[in-house]
Every structure is written in C-alpha cells, then in structure tokens.
C-alpha cells in the first residue's frame, strides 16, 4: 500500500472512531434528549448551546426573559455548553423542585467556581456536606442571636448617617461602595466578632477584593460549561488570596485567645489588626451575656472535631460574603426605588417619623414589626430586584416529582427568580413597576406560595434571610428618617447584570438632602 493510501486509511479510521464515540455519547444521553423533547425549548449551537446567545454575564437576565417569551412557556429546556438545562419561572414546578429531598445538590458547574473561591460553604457545598453543616450552624441564626445584633445594626445605622451627611454637599453621588463598606463592617462584627467602633468601616482594599471575586465568578461559571474556567482563575487569584487571608486572620484571632495546636494549622501570622475584640452590646437595655455568634459556634464545633478545618474556612468565607452582598444590594435597590417614587418615600418617611419623632433613635424588634409600610417597601424592592436573581439544582439521580414527572439524572435546573417575580399573570399588568401595595395582605391571598422567593425557599433556603431583612430595615429607617433621596434614573431604563448577586450595569447616581425635621 502506498504512503498516500495509508494516510487516507488512517484518516478514515480516525474519523470513524470519532463518529462512533460521538454516536455512543449521544446514545448514552438518549434519556436526556427524550426528556428535553417534552418541553418547549432551544437547543442552540453545537458544543456551546445558548452560550453564544447569552455572550456575557451582562445579558443573562435579559436573554432568559427572551427565551421564556420565544418559547411561550415558563418552563423550557435548553443547553448551556454541553449541559442540558431546565429553566423555569413556574411556581408549581419550582415548589416541586425546591421541596424534593433528592434535589438538594446545587447545579454543576454553575456553583463549582463559588465553591472553589470560598473553599466550600453552605451556598455551594454538596448535599451531604451541606446537610451536616447547616444543622450545626443553624443556632448561629436563631432569633435570640439575631436580636442580640440590634445594638450592632443600630451602631452601624448611626455611623452610616454620619457618613451620608458628607454626601449632601454634592449634587450627584454614587453610594454603592459606601453601602458595601457599611454592610461588610456589620457582617464582620456580627459573624466574626471583629468589633466596629462607631463610624469605623473595613478597608477599601478589602471591599474591592470581595467585589472583584463576586464580579468574576459568573465569567468562571460560563467558562466552566466549555471546560475553560481553570484558565481564568489566575486573573482573580490575588483578590481571592487577600479575602482568604482576612478571614483566616479573624479566625486566628479568635483561636489565639485559647492557645492550642489548632492555631498552627491555620498557617497565618499574628497581627494586631486581626485581633478580635470582645463583643459588647452597649446601652439600650442590651447588656446581657454576649451571644454565641457564628465564629464562636463554628470554632467550638471545630475544636470538638465536628467540622473540618476546610469547613471552618469555607463556612466563614461564605457567611461573610453572602451576608454583606445581599444586604448592600437590597439596601441600594430600596433607596433607588424610593428615590424614583417620591410619594412612596414620603409615605414611608411619615410612618418612620411617627414611630421615631427624634432623628436619633434605637430600632428594636418591636419597632420593626410595627412598621408595616417599611415591610411592604422592602418586599416590593426584593420582588423587582431579588438579591440572587437565579438559583440552580443538579439532578444526580432519576427523580420523580410530586406531579409524577420523572427528571433523568444529568439534567440541571435553573430557577429564574427575576422572571418569576415579574410575571404579569401573577403580579398583574404592571408587574415590572414598583408598587408596595402588591404586599397588602388581600393582594397576596390568591398567589402561589412560591410566587415570591427572594431568598429561595424550601429546605435549602438562605440561612441568613432574617438577618439580611433586619439589617436592611434598620439601616433604611435611619436613612429615610434623616435624608431625602432623589435620582434622575428611570425604572424602565435600568439594566441588570448577574454577578452572582443582582447588580446594575451602570450605577445610578443620587441627590441626597438633609431633612429639616
């Protein structure tokens, strides 16, 4: 046989093997394809699926909305990379998914970059690890512990008001970074025990490192669908290491109070800036014994060998990151909605002023429960701008839902909370408008239990949702009692991006004025 013939023969063999492997791969996934055909959907491009349609994290929310419209359905099947996905904004289907005990694993590879960045944690850990750690960490978010944080929240409120007075000197100001510093400071004190003096805040470098990590996670997720995420990790390595060092420093400060061999395993240097001050409640009738905050509880579990060293680091990282991000984003969105709707802002101001005639006040639990319009404003804000716009689940075994539908192993499920909260057949023709009246009791009676899920729902909901709501309401009450907020931005012109949490592509500017009374 001549050389040319041999080369052609080898090419034919290679092509035949490639096709055989391809058809074998398709055959092994036949159940996925047959299942996908039961739903309206888009297959997209080979290998990339709908990734080429999405293009970047700035288009995810917009494109998901278009997919629902194009398919004329709120549960559709599509492909992201080579991964088959169900994307849903349908309350009954969402309830079945979030209630199924077999569907507690987070979608892969959507959550893997988050797990790698924070070295584990409740948000992204596998179901068996999550179940064990969630059960042990739950006491750190008990109502009595949250109540003990009231002095910290109020101290932060007073410090934030002092900071915001500087903003009244300028006509157009951007406040997101300041809100991030405020909420990260609160989180560090309430979960990690690093006491914040009145008006003190964490460093700008730390805030930026956290923000960089969160902003780049969606890019890593997209690249993970085509197996290229590991190449991108190096671009955010410095920020991740800075955050890790900060958290380890806080953990070391707490562990060093009782010297032991455990401190050596943390592998961090002692620094006076990392020492943890004793927790103090201050005045206002909160002088009882200091609470068993997250870091105390987690370290006790670690010393009792109930959680590993990696779990200790991962849970600390995740708790801090998630708490400050959701609180800062919720607060920014609430202030933006109030600035866009002066009548709503004035009605809220009147409610707050009636409760607190003096500008300097302490908010307790009873106050929070007696501010119904504040509750409506916050809920409506989280409806339009949910802190986490989408969540995902991984089907690791064939799973039968309560409606009899069998979802085959290998399918991933994305719940678009953003689209769910804006369905006109649920929230009315003006579902994309801001209207706190949506949360009057009579307007909620006929809505599905899973039509509103800003912090997810079911067994694997957000552990810190009560914490976030308490912080948002106390800070918002302080801001509205002392300042009025204005903006030239229109609601219909807002553009959103998905940086794990919901963000604005162009940060809105505010005009902030002191209230005379």
Q: Phi/psi at 255 (nearest 5 deg)?
A: -65, -35
359 DSSP assignment: S
| Residue 72: half-sphere exposure toward Cβ, Cα within 13 Å | 0
SS3 120: coil
**β 75-80/41-42 pair status:** parallel
Here the tokens at position 348 are 């809220």
Contact between 12 and 1 (Cβ < 8 Å):
no
Distance CA 350, CA 63 (A): 40
459 DSSP assignment: T
E strands present in 346-411: 390-394, 399-400, 406-407
Q: What value, to the nearest 5°, has the Cα angle with vertex 10 and ends 5 and 15?
A: 125
Contact between 383 and 452 (Cβ < 8 Å):
yes
Residues 6 or more apart whose Cβ sits within 8 Å of residue 50? 42, 44, 63, 67, 78, 79, 80
Distance of CA 456 to the CA centre of its chain: 10
Q: What value, to the nearest 5°, has the Cα angle with vertex 331 and ends 325 and 337?
A: 135
Say whether 462 counts as a known binding-site residue. yes
Contact between 220 and 243 (Cβ < 8 Å):
no
Binding residue positions: 462
Binding residue positions for heme: 462
């Amino acid at each position: 046989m001549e050389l040319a013939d041999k080369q052609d023969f080898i090419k034919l063999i290679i092509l035949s093997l490639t096709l055989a492997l391809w058809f074998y791969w398709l055959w092994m996934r036949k159940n996925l394809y047959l299942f996908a055909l039961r739903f309206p959907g888009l297959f997209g491009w080979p290998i990339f699926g709908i990734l080429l349609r999405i293009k970047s994290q700035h288009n995810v929310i917009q494109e998901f909305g278009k997919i629902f419209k194009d398919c004329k359905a709120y549960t559709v099947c599509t492909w992201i990379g080579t991964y088959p996905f169900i994307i849903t904004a349908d309350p009954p289907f969402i309830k079945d998914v979030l209630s199924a005990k077999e569907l507690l694993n987070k979608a892969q590879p959507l959550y893997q970059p988050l797990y790698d960045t924070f070295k584990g944690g409740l948000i992204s850990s596998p179901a068996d690890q999550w179940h064990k750690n969630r059960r042990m960490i739950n006491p750190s978010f008990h109502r009595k512990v949250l109540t003990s944080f009231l002095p910290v929240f109020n101290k932060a409120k007073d410090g934030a008001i002092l900071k915001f007075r500087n903003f009244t000197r300028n006509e157009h100001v951007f406040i997101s970074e300041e809100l991030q510093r405020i909420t990260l400071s609160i989180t560090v004190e309430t979960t990690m025990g690093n006491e914040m003096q009145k008006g003190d805040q964490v460093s700008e470098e730390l805030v930026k490192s956290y923000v960089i990590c969160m902003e780049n996670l969606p890019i890593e997720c997209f690249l993970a669908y085509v197996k290229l995420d590991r190449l991108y990790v190096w671009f955010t390595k410095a920020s991740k290491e800075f955050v890790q060092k900060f958290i380890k420093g806080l953990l070391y400060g707490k562990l060093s109070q009782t010297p032991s061999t455990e401190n050596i395993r943390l592998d961090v240097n002692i620094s006076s800036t990392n020492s943890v001050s004793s927790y103090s409640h201050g005045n206002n009738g909160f002088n009882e014994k200091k609470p068993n905050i997250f870091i105390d509880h987690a370290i006790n579990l670690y010393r009792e060998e109930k959680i590993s060293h990696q779990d200790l680091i991962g849970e600390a990282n995740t708790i801090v990151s998630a708490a400050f991000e959701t609180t800062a984003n919720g607060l920014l969105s609430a202030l933006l909605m109030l600035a866009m709707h002066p009548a709503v802002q004035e009605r809220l101001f009147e409610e707050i002023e009636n409760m607190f005639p003096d500008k300097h006040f302490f908010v307790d639990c009873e106050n929070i429960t007696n501010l119904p319009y504040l509750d409506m404003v916050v809920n409506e804000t989280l409806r339009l701008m949910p802190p986490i716009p989408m969540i995902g689940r991984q089907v690791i075994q064939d799973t039968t839902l309560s409606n009899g539908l069998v979802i085959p192993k290998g399918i991933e499920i994305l719940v678009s909370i953003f689209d769910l909260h804006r369905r006109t057949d649920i929230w009315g023709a003006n579902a994309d408008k801001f209207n706190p009246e949506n949360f009057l009791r009579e307007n909620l009676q006929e809505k599905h239990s899973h039509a509103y899920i800003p912090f997810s729902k079911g067994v694997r909901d957000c552990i810190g949702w009560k914490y976030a709501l308490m912080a948002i309401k106390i800070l918002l009450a302080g801001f509205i009692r002392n300042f009025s907020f204005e903006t030239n931005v229109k609601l219909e012109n807002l553009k959103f991006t998905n940086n794990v949490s919901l963000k604005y592509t162009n940060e809105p500017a505010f005009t902030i004025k002191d209230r005379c009374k």
